[in-house]
Amino acid sequence: MKEAWGRWGDADERGALNLIDGATVRSAAQLVRSGRAISLAQPVSAAMATPKSRPGVMHFMNRDGGDYAAGRRRPGGFQFADDTILMPLHSGTHLDALCHCWYDDRLYNGFAATEVRSNGSSKLGADSIGPIVTRGVLLDFVALVGSPLEDGRAIGLDMVRAAMARTGIALRAGDAVLLRTGWQERSSAGAPVDFDNEPGLDVEAGIFLADAGVSLIGADNFAIEVLPFPEGTVFPVHQRLIRDYGIPLLEGLVLSPLAAEGASEFLFVAAALPIRGATGSPINPVAIL
Amino acid sequence: MKEAWGRWGDADERGALNLIDGATVRSAAQLVRSGRAISLAQPVSAAMATPKSRPGVMHFMNRDGGDYAAGRRRPGGFQFADDTILMPLHSGTHLDALCHCWYDDRLYNGFAATEVRSNGSSKLGADSIGPIVTRGVLLDFVALVGSPLEDGRAIGLDMVRAAMARTGIALRAGDAVLLRTGWQERSSAGAPVDFDNEPGLDVEAGIFLADAGVSLIGADNFAIEVLPFPEGTVFPVHQRLIRDYGIPLLEGLVLSPLAAEGASEFLFVAAALPIRGATGSPINPVAIL
Amino acid sequence: MKEAWGRWGDADERGALNLIDGATVRSAAQLVRSGRAISLAQPVSAAMATPKSRPGVMHFMNRDGGDYAAGRRRPGGFQFADDTILMPLHSGTHLDALCHCWYDDRLYNGFAATEVRSNGSSKLGADSIGPIVTRGVLLDFVALVGSPLEDGRAIGLDMVRAAMARTGIALRAGDAVLLRTGWQERSSAGAPVDFDNEPGLDVEAGIFLADAGVSLIGADNFAIEVLPFPEGTVFPVHQRLIRDYGIPLLEGLVLSPLAAEGASEFLFVAAALPIRGATGSPINPVAIL
Amino acid sequence: MKEAWGRWGDADERGALNLIDGATVRSAAQLVRSGRAISLAQPVSAAMATPKSRPGVMHFMNRDGGDYAAGRRRPGGFQFADDTILMPLHSGTHLDALCHCWYDDRLYNGFAATEVRSNGSSKLGADSIGPIVTRGVLLDFVALVGSPLEDGRAIGLDMVRAAMARTGIALRAGDAVLLRTGWQERSSAGAPVDFDNEPGLDVEAGIFLADAGVSLIGADNFAIEVLPFPEGTVFPVHQRLIRDYGIPLLEGLVLSPLAAEGASEFLFVAAALPIRGATGSPINPVAIL
C-alpha cells in the first residue's frame, strides 16, 4: 500500500491534484499584481532537441500560401492554410500523466499496468487530469547557487530548504512547485543537449515535497530528477512521485523569464490536452503575476 | 488598409490580443468567486468527429503495459508507457492563429500570403499568440432561445444584443466572448456531426463584436460563423475577423458545463501550444469562476 | 501441431514461400511471351477507401513547387520537392505478413504471440518475407460467372475447381494464386465500399489451395475470404492459412487489367517493403506476360 | 529544350522508362539461370540512418500480442496485430520520381514546377512510373578498385568505361544500371553515416550513361552522385538526369549480395508504390539471376 493510494478513494485518477480546492484557487487568484502573464513553454518545432529514444516532432502543411502562389484559387476569395502535427507526447514542455510510469505492474492507486494497452490507457490518462489552477512557487536554484547547476548535480533536501528560505514563503497543500535548475537555459544558449545528464531532484528531496502536499512538481530539465540515476536505480523519483504519491510531473519548462520577474509565488494555470488514455500531453503553462 | 492593420505597428503579430493589458488581467482575476476551474475542451481521440477535408487524430502507443505483460522487463524496476499523436491542428477544440486564413493574398497586418510555406508560416503563427488571460463573457444563445439553435441559423446583431442584455454586463476592450449555440452538445448527444451546417455568427454581428474591442471570439460550433455561408461567400466571418481585425477564433468549445454554473463573466485562461509557424493549435481553455 | 509447423524447421519464418525454389523461378521466367508488365496495385492516396477500424493514408509535402512560387530560392539552381507518407500497413494493395494474425496465442510455426510487441514483431515480420518470384495463376471468377460476384458469395471448392478447369492448367507447388472476384472493380466503378461484405474464399476452398502447395493467395477483395463470416467464426480463412499453413495473403489487388490480357499463367514478382517487425506491407505486385 | 523533352510526346510522364519495350523484357527474362531472387533493399526501421534534413521512419503498432497478454480477448478466437508507418518517401532504398527535382521552374518535359503543390504533384508522380522490368547491369566499382570507394571520390567516364569493360557486355537501350560504390556496405559495417560525403557519379559520366539509353540509374549510395558537389553546383547530376533526360534514380541500394553472385546482368524488377503525386517511393527492387 503506497502513500497516496486510496487516499481519495479507490477509483481516484487525479492523485495529488485533489489537494487543490476552491480556497486554493481563490487565494492563488489574489496573487495577481501586475497582470503580466508569462508562458513557461518551449516553442514546439521540428528543430527541438529530442532524446534518442523518441521520434522528433514533425509539422506538415496540408495547404499553404505557396499553393496560391502556384495558381490555386478558391471560390469566394477565401484562402487558407492548414496543418498537421506529429508529436511524441513527452516532447518539449509536457505533463506526465499518472499512467506514464510505474513499477511492480501496478500504477498509481493500484490500477493494473495491463490497463495501458495499444489503444491507450483506460485509467489515469491525460484526459483525467483536468485544468490545474493553483499557487505556483518558484524554487530558483540558479539564483541560489549563482549559476546554472552542473549536469549530474543532485538537488537534495538542504538545497530545497535553502531555496525555500530565499522565497520567504512556506509551502501549502496544493502548491505547484517549479524548479529552476538552469539546464534548459544552458541548452538553449547553444550547448548541445545531453538527455542523459542533468541536474535534478534526488529521491529524498522529492519525497519531502510530496509530503509537504504539493499537487505538482515542474522543472526546467528533462526529467525533474538528477541524471544519471544513483547506481542500481532507474528514474527513482518518477517511480515514487507518480506511482506512489500520484503527483504529475511537468517537464521541460522555460523558467528564466519568470525568474527575471523576481516573484516567488504567482497564479499558476496549466491545462493539458485531454487526450483519451494518453500518458502525457504537451502543455503551455502560464504564470500570472 | 484594413480595420486593425497598423494599429499596433507594422510588425505586430498579435492583433486584437494587444487589447489585453495588465489592468484587464487584474480585473479578470478579481472575478474568481468559488474557485471552480472548468475545462472548455473536448476530449481528444481517434473517435472524434472530423470534417471530410481533414484527417483524423491518431494516437499511437510506443510502449505500453501490454509489453510488460508480454514479458519485457526493465532494469531498476522501472516500467513506463509512452505515446505519439498525429493530429490536424484544427481538430477538436482549437485556436485559429492569425495566419490561418486571408484573402487577396494578404494576411492580417498586410503580411504576404507567401510567408506561409511548406515549413510553416514565418509570420502570425501559433507561437506568436502567447497566453491569453482576460475576462471571459459567455453569450448563451441556448438559454436565450430555450433550446440549441438549429443548423443554418444565423446569429445576427439583435440576437447578440439580446444575449448581452441577459448577462447584465457590458463588453469591454480585451474581453474573450464565448458563444454557446448548442451545436456541440447536440452532436455529443449522439446526433451525427454535420460539418456543413451549423448555427453561427453572421458578418454584421461578428463586426459588431470586433468593433466592441473583443480580443477573441470562441464558440461551441465548428466555425464560429453560420453554415452554409450566404450565397457567393466562403467563410466571410473568418475573412473579416482574422484577417482584417486580427482576432483569433476559438472553435469547438464545450460550453454547457460552464453555462450550468450560471456565471456570465469569469477569469478566462487559454494558452495555445507555441508551435512554430503553425496555423492553429489544439487548446484546453479554462474558465475560473 | 499445425499443418505446416516445423515443416521447414523450427526457426522458419517464411512458411509456404519455401515451396518456391530455383526451378520454380526458372520455369516461371519462361512464361514471358509479350514482355508486357502489368501492375496489380491500387493507387495509394488519401482518397482511398479505408475500413472504419483503420486510419486513412496521409501524404504530406515537406517541400513543393509552391514554395518556389512563393519566393524560396536555392543555391546552384537546384529545386526539389519532398514528401512523407503515413499509412496503415494494411491499406490498399498489401501483403499480410505471417505475424499479422493467429489464434490460441501462437503464431505460425509455434512462435509465441508475445513476440509481437509495441516495437514490432521479433518474428515473422515483413522483413522476413523476401522477394516473391514464381508462377502466378489467375482464377477468374468474374469470367466464370459472367459478372462480379455478389457480396457475401462464398467461393467454395466447386467454384475453385471450375475456375481452374477454365485455365486448362494444374496447380503446382509454389504457385501464387490470384482470385478475381470483381469486388474491387465494382468499388472502383463508384459503388460505395463496404468492408463488411464481400465475396471470397470459404475455409474448405482455402485449405484445398493450401494443400495443393500454393505459396501465396491473393485476391481483389479486402480479406481474401468471404464476409460476413460463417456464424461463430472470425476471419477463419486467415486463421488457417496464415497461422497453420504459413501462407501470406495478398489483398486489395487490381486484377481486371490482367484478366483483360487473357493469360491464366505468368511470371509473378512481388516484393514487400522489408519493414522490420511489420505485420504487413503495401506492395506493387507485377504480372509479366 | 532539353535532351529528352518531347521525345515521347508532350504529355509523357515516364521519361527514359519508355526505352523499355516488350523485346527488352523478353530478353531480360531469358537471363534467368539459377532462379535466385535477390532483394536489393535495406531493411526499413526507426533505426535507419536518416539525413538531417528529413524526419526518420516511425513504426507504430495499433494492436499487438501484448494487448492479448494484457487480457484483451476477441470473439471467434481470432487474434491479430496491425500497424502504421510514417516514412519520408526518400528514406532507405527508394526511387526518385521525375517530379522530385528540377531547375528554372520547369520539370521534366517542360511541366511547370507549380504542378507540385501541398497535395502532391499533378504530373510525374510515383503513380506514373509503373513497374520496371528490364535488364539490370551491375557496375561494380568496389571490385574494380579493390575496396569501397572513399568519400568524395568522383566516378568519371574512365571509371565507368573500365567497370563496363570488366562485365564484358555492352549497354543497351532500356538497361537499368546499378552502381556499387561500397558506400552503403561501409556504413552498414558500423561506420557512422555521413550524408554529406560519398563517392558517386560526376556529371560527365551521368550524361554518358543517359546518352547510352539507360532507363534507370541506381546506386548503393545516398544520392547517385558524388558529394560534396563541385563548387558552385547543387545536385548537378540530379538536375541533368531527372529533369533533362527523364531518368528516375534509385538510391540506397544494397548491392554486395548481388555482387557476391558474380553476375553482371540479370532480370531486374522494381515496382514503386503508386502513390498519387508522390515525389518518390520506398521500393524493394529484385535481381533475378
Give C14's contacts (C-beta < 8 A, 6+ positions apart): C8, C128, C129, C130, C246
pLDDT at A48: 87
Tell me the torsion sign for CA atoms C140, C144, C146, C147.
Answer: negative
* Residue found by looking up cell 501490454 in the block: B66
A164-173, B259-268, D186-195, D245-254: least confidently modelled range: D186-195
Cβ(D100)–Cβ(D279) below 8 Å: yes
Contact D119 A58 (CB under 8 A): no
Tell me the torsion sign for CA atoms D245, D250, D252, D256.
Answer: negative
pLDDT at B134: 98
With a cut of 80, say whether residue D53 has pLDDT above it: no
Contact A118 D55 (CB under 8 A): no
Give the closest-approach CA distance of C20 to chain D in angstroms: 10
Give the closest-approach CA distance of A220 to chain D in angstroms: 26
Q: How does the average pLDDT of chain C come out, rounded? A: 96
With a cut of 90, say whether residue D54 has pLDDT above it: no
Task: Select from B102, B117, B119, B122 the residue whose CB has the most chain C CBs within 10 Å, as the one to mutate to test that interface.
Answer: B117
* Cβ-based contacts of B65 with chain D (< 8 Å): 66, 70
What is the average pLDDT across A250-260?
Answer: 97
* Cβ-based contacts of B63 with chain C (< 8 Å): 118-119
What is the average pLDDT across A13-34?
Answer: 98
A267-281, B203-217, C68-82: least confidently modelled range: C68-82
CB atoms within 10 A of CB C261: 14
The secondary structure of residue D186, as a DSSP letter, is H
Residue of B nearest to C61 (CA): B118
Contact B65 A30 (CB under 8 A): no
pLDDT at B63: 97
With a cut of 90, say whether residue C32 has pLDDT above it: yes
pLDDT at D189: 66
B42-51, B73-82, C227-236, D185-194: least confidently modelled range: D185-194
Residue of C nearest to D58 (CA): C86
* Cβ-based contacts of C99 with chain D (< 8 Å): 81
pTM: 0.96
Closest to D70 (Cβ–Cβ): which among A61, A72, A114? A114
pLDDT at C187: 72
* Cβ-based contacts of B44 with chain A (< 8 Å): 127, 273-276, 278
With a cut of 80, say whether residue A52 has pLDDT above it: no
B128-132, B208-212, D48-52: least confidently modelled range: D48-52
pLDDT at D148: 96
With a cut of 70, say whether residue D177 has pLDDT above it: yes
With a cut of 70, say whether residue D47 has pLDDT above it: yes
Residue of A nearest to D81 (CA): A118
Interface A–B counts its CB contacts (< 8 A) at 319
Summarize pLDDT for A92-134 with one digit per residue, the tens: 999 999 999 999 999 999 999 999 999 999 999 999 999 999 9
B157-161, C54-58, D18-22: least confidently modelled range: C54-58
Task: Select from B74, B111, B275, B289 the residue whose CB has the most chain A CBs within 10 Å, as the one to mutate to test that interface.
Answer: B275
Summarize pLDDT for C234-248 with one digit per residue, the tens: 999 999 999 999 999
C-alpha cell at D124: 510525374
* Cβ-based contacts of B69 with chain A (< 8 Å): 113-114
Subunits next to A (3 or more Cβ pairs <8 Å) are: B, C, D
Contact A60 C64 (CB under 8 A): no
Closest to B43 (Cβ–Cβ): which among A61, A87, A127? A127
Task: Select from B61, B82, B121 the residue whose CB has the most chain D CBs within 10 Å, as the one to mutate to test that interface.
Answer: B61
Summarize pLDDT for C123-176 with one digit per residue, the tens: 999 999 999 999 999 999 999 999 999 999 999 999 999 999 999 999 999 999
Coil vs helix vs strand at C282: strand
Identify which has the larger pLDDT, B144 or A195: B144
Summarize pLDDT for D137-165 with one digit per residue, the tens: 999 999 999 999 999 999 999 999 999 99
Q: How does the average pLDDT of chain D come out, rounded? A: 96
Provide DSSP, D2-68: -TTTTTT-TT--SGGGGG--HHHHHHHHTT-SS--EEE----B-TTS---TTSPPPEEEEEE-HHHH
Residue of C nearest to B62 (CA): C118
The secondary structure of residue A149, as a DSSP letter, is P
With a cut of 70, say whether residue B188 has pLDDT above it: no
What is the average pLDDT across D23-40?
Answer: 98
With a cut of 70, say whether residue C105 has pLDDT above it: yes
Instruction: Identify the CA nearest to D274 among candidates C266, B165, B56, C47.
Output: C47
Give the closest-approach CA distance of D67 to chain A in angstroms: 6
Identify which has the larger pLDDT, C249 or C195: C249
With a cut of 90, say whether residue B145 has pLDDT above it: yes
Provide DSSP, B248-272: -EEES---HHHHHHT-SEEEEEE--
Summarize pLDDT for C210-225 with one digit per residue, the tens: 999 999 999 999 999 9
Residue of B nearest to A74 (CA): B234
pLDDT at A179: 98
C189 — pLDDT class (breaks 50, 70, 90): low
pLDDT at B1: 66
The secondary structure of residue A16, as a DSSP letter, is G
* Cβ-based contacts of D66 with chain B (< 8 Å): 64-70
What is the average pLDDT across D244-254?
Answer: 98
Identify which has the larger pLDDT, D49 or C53: D49
Interface B–C counts its CB contacts (< 8 A) at 46
Contact A114 D56 (CB under 8 A): no
pLDDT at B49: 82
pLDDT at A1: 65
Contact B118 C46 (CB under 8 A): no
Give the closest-approach CA distance of D118 to chain A in angstroms: 6
Contact C29 D35 (CB under 8 A): yes
Residue of A nearest to B40 (CA): A131
* Cβ-based contacts of A71 with chain D (< 8 Å): 114
With a cut of 80, say whether residue C53 has pLDDT above it: no
Helices of type H across chain A: 22-29, 65-69, 141-145, 157-167, 183-188, 203-211, 236-238, 256-261
β-strand pairing of D94-96 with D280-282: antiparallel
Contact D116 C61 (CB under 8 A): yes
